[in-house]
Structure 1
C-alpha cells in the first residue's frame, strides 16, 4: 500500500463499480435524503477526490455513512460507502 493519504484506506463498501457519473449520482439521490455537489479535486480526509466532473456526495446520517464517488484510472468511476461520525457529516454540510 502506498504511503500517505490513499483512497483505498477510506471506504468500507463498494456500492457501484465502474459506472457512469450519471448512474452514481442517481444512486446517491435514491439512497440519501441529503446530498451535495462536489467539484473534482475536493479533498476528503487528506485525499483528493478524482472524478471527471462535479458529482454528488450523499449523506446517510441514520447509517452513519457518506456515499462518495471516486474514479480510479484503470477501473473507472465507482460509488463507495464511507463510515462517518456526526462531526464529519457536519463538516461536509
Structure 2
C-alpha cells in the first residue's frame, strides 16, 4: 500500500502554505513541461494528497520534478516540493498523466 507521507520522497520545499493557483503558476514559470495530476495520484509509492487536480512540472535537464501536495499532518495547506528523479520517473509521469494546456 502506498505511503501518504511526501517526506518519503526526499527533496526540498519550494513553496509552503500557498494557494493552488500560486503553486500552478510557479510550475508554469519554472518548467517547460508540465502535466495535470489528479488527487491521490501515486508517485514513487507515495499517494500525493490534493483537493483537486494541480500541475506537476518536469525539469528534465536538472532531473527534478516539482510536485504539489498537501500535508494534512501539518495543516499548512498546499506545498510545492522539488524532488530528484530518474529518467524512468519522468517517463512514468509523461505516460500516465495528461499534458496540461499552455
Question: CA separation in 2, counterparts of 1:88 and 1:56?
Answer: 16
**1:7, CA displacement in angstroms?**
1.4
What is the root-mean-square deviation in Å for CA atoms of aligned residues?
1.1
TM-score by length of 2: 0.83
Question: CA separation in 1, counterparts of 2:30 and 2:42?
Answer: 23
Matched residue, 1:92: 93
Matched, 1:79 2:50: no
Contiguous gaps of at least 5 residues in structure 1: none
Give the match's secondary structure for 1:53.
coil
**1:31, CA displacement in angstroms?**
0.4
TM-score by length of 1: 0.91
Contiguous gaps of at least 5 residues in structure 2: 95-102
Tell me whether 4-13 or 47-56 shows the greater mean CA deviation.
4-13
Tell me if structure 1 keeps the 8 A contact 2:70–2:78. yes
Would you identify which runs of 4 or more consecutive aligned residues in structure 1 move more than 2 Å? none
**1:42, CA displacement in angstroms?**
0.5
